[in-house]
């Protein structure tokens, strides 16, 4: 009896996982065979370019139709950065005692301007090509990370102080909300750019799509500063 | 039943199995990462239509894949990155306090 | 289906199999550093799958965050904890 009990204790977790896997298999089979007409997607595909002015439909969904969700996502990153800053001790911690050769130090100096150009390109061309504020912001956040890994935390904090990162993140968040309020002043909804007719322009040009490039810029600043702050806190932890 | 959906299910339950059975905290975070990746792959698979083009409409098109699940997938990826950062910071905190990463030993030490 | 579509289909299924291999290796290997490097390769295969499935935005985000930033976070954590072996 106890042997059966022992075997049962050993295998019931695996059995549970297998049972749930088979259960999910049937659900997916149903999902795959389900033939739904997706009216909302069809509306976005057929009318999205005229209504928002952005030819990248993912960007037009993220920043125009569902701009409120993007605000919530930005809030999640702000919360993560705040939590990590709260857990970090104030005192200086000496970092990973790695020493690189001069080749790596010089290569980092050469790489950094190209990273700035790439990040800015991804942010400003977010509405006419793949990319957008999130990806560009993360590439901008790579620059403090590279500097920190190569030259140490003291040098990095001298060049870009943590207070300035917090200030940049705040500017991004407040700017996003102010741009959203612009829609209310124009007599439409919060975060409306297509409905409020903010100069949609010709689809496919750089200056077009109303508020979407500026919202992209704000999200880029916010995500870049937030992830740099998160990395800074993580490396000073403990 | 096509192969990609089966792969999604296997990845999802591989991650769940890692979270339940593994004793190392960093391995548990790896399991969470695998679960997230499988769900993102499911979203992209739902959005795909055979013969469709990417949702960037700069010239004539016939069939376009669904843009809404792709926007959701983008959101999920970014939130997953910050979530993993918070979890790893908690792991470092636990290691500084208890001196080990094994879940069983941490449970013993606390009691 | 024409010839090109069959090739893409076969490549997609092969990449799915590779995805399973890397995921199982990342979970069941004993060395934590091997596990994390394999996780980055897992993300890289996922990028190619996203491009084949016509999702360039998600592929860019996964390339930057999944394969780049997360790897940095994991390596920093392992460096801080110094508990390299699994047990």
What sign has the CA pseudo-torsion A73, C53, A136, A145? positive
3-state secondary structure of A59: helix
Chain B: nearest CA to A137, how far in angstroms? 11
pLDDT band at B111 (very low <50, low <70, confident <90, very high): low
Q: Where are the domains of chain B?
A: 3-47+65-110
Nearest CA in chain A to B95: A238
ipTM, two decimals, is: 0.85
Q: Which residues contact A122 (CB under 8 A, 6 or more apart)?
A: A131, A132, A135, A136, A139, C60
> What is the C-alpha R_g of chain A?
24
Instruction: Mark residue C28 as left, alpha or beta (left: phi above 0; alpha: psi -120 to 50; beta: remaining).
Output: alpha
Find out if CATH 1.10.287.3510 is the number for domain B3-47+65-110: yes
Contact B8/A at CB under 8 A: yes
Closest in A57, A69, A231 to B55, CB measured: A57
- B22, B25, B40: best to mutate for the C interface, most C CBs within 10 A: B40
- With tokens 């999910």, the residue in question is A24
Q: Where are the domains of chain C?
A: 3-81
Average pLDDT over residues C68-74: 87
pLDDT band at C86 (very low <50, low <70, confident <90, very high): very low
Question: What residues in B contact C70, CB-CB < 8 Å?
Answer: 33, 81, 84
Token pair in block for residue A70: 């993007």
3-state secondary structure of B102: strand
Question: What residues in A contact B82, CB-CB < 8 Å?
Answer: 76-77, 80-81, 226-227, 230
Residues 5-34 of C with CB under 8 A from A: none
Distances (CA, A) of B41 to A17, A33, A104, B11, C80: 20, 18, 36, 10, 32
The answer to whether residue B52 scores a pLDDT higher than 50 is yes
Residues 23-82 of B with CB under 8 A from A: 46, 54-58, 64, 66-68, 70-71, 74-75, 78-79, 81-82
CA–CA dist C60, C50 (Å, integer):
9
Residues of chain A below pLDDT 70: 1, 89-98, 194, 196-199, 204, 238
pLDDT score of B32: 92
3-state secondary structure of A97: coil
The answer to whether residue C83 scores a pLDDT higher than 60 is no
Distances (CA, A) of A216 to A71, A109, A146, B111, C38: 12, 27, 24, 50, 33
Question: What residues in C contact B41, CB-CB < 8 Å?
Answer: 46, 49
Mean of per-residue pLDDT scores for chain C: 84
3-state secondary structure of A47: helix
Closest in A20, A69, A230 to B82, CB measured: A230
Average pLDDT over residues C61-68: 86
Interchain proximity B82–A128, CB inside 8 Å = no
Token pair in block for residue A36: 């739904």
Interchain proximity B67–A57, CB inside 8 Å = yes
- A10, A15, A17, A34: best to mutate for the B interface, most B CBs within 10 A: A17
Q: What is the DSSP string of chain C?
A: --HHHHHHHHHHHHHHHHHHHHHHHHHH-SBHHHHHHHHHHHHHHHHHHHHHTT-HHHHHHIIIIIIIIHHHHHHHHHHHH---B--
C-alpha A88: how far from its chain's center? 23
Q: Which residues pair with B100 in a beta bridge?
A: none
Distances (CA, A) of C42 to A105, B21, C7: 30, 21, 22
3-state secondary structure of B24: strand
């Amino acid at each position: 009896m106890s042997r059966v009990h022992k075997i049962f204790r050993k295998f019931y977790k695996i059995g549970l996982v297998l049972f749930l896997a088979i259960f999910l298999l049937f659900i997916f089979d149903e999902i795959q065979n389900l033939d739904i007409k997706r009216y909302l997607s069809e509306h976005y595909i057929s009318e999205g370019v005229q209504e928002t002015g952005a030819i990248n439909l993912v960007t037009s969904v993220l920043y125009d139709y569902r701009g409120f969700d993007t605000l919530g996502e930005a809030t999640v990153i702000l919360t993560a950065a705040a939590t990590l800053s709260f857990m970090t001790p104030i005192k200086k911690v000496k970092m990973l005692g790695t020493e690189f050769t001069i080749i790596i130090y010089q290569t980092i100096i050469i790489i950094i301007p190209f990273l700035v150009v790439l990040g800015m390109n991804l942010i400003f061309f977010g509405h006419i090509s793949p990319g957008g504020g999130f990806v560009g912001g993360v590439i901008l956040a790579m620059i403090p990370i590279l500097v920190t890994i190569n030259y140490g935390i003291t040098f990095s904090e001298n060049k870009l102080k943590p207070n300035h990162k917090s200030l940049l993140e705040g500017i991004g968040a407040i700017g996003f909300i102010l741009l959203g309020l612009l829609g209310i002043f124009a007599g439409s909804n919060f975060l409306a750019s297509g409905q409020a007719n903010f100069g949609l322009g010709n689809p496919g040009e750089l200056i077009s799509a109303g508020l979407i490039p500026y919202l992209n810029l704000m999200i880029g600043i916010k995500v870049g500063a937030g992830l740099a702050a998160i990395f800074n806190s993580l490396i000073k932890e403990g | 039943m096509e192969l990609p959906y089966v792969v999604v299910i296997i990845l999802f339950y591989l991650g769940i199995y890692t979270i339940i059975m593994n004793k190392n905290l960093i391995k548990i975070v790896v399991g969470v990462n695998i679960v997230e990746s499988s769900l993102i792959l499911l979203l992209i698979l739902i959005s795909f239509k055979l013969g469709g083009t990417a949702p960037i409409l700069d010239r004539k098109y016939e069939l376009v894949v669904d843009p809404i699940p792709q926007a959701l997938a983008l959101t999920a990826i970014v939130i997953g990155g910050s979530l993993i950062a918070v979890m790893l910071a908690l792991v470092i905190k636990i290691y500084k306090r208890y001196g080990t990463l094994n879940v069983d030993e941490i449970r013993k030490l606390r009691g | 289906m024409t010839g090109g579509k069959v090739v893409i289909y076969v490549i997609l299924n092969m990449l799915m199999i590779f995805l399973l291999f890397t995921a199982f290796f990342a979970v069941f290997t004993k060395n934590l550093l091997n596990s994390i490097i394999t996780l980055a390769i897992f993300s890289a295969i996922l990028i190619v799958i996203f491009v084949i499935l016509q999702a360039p935005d998600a592929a860019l985000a996964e390339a930057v965050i999944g394969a780049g930033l997360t790897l940095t976070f994991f390596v920093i954590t392992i460096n801080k904890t110094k508990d390299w072996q699994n047990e």
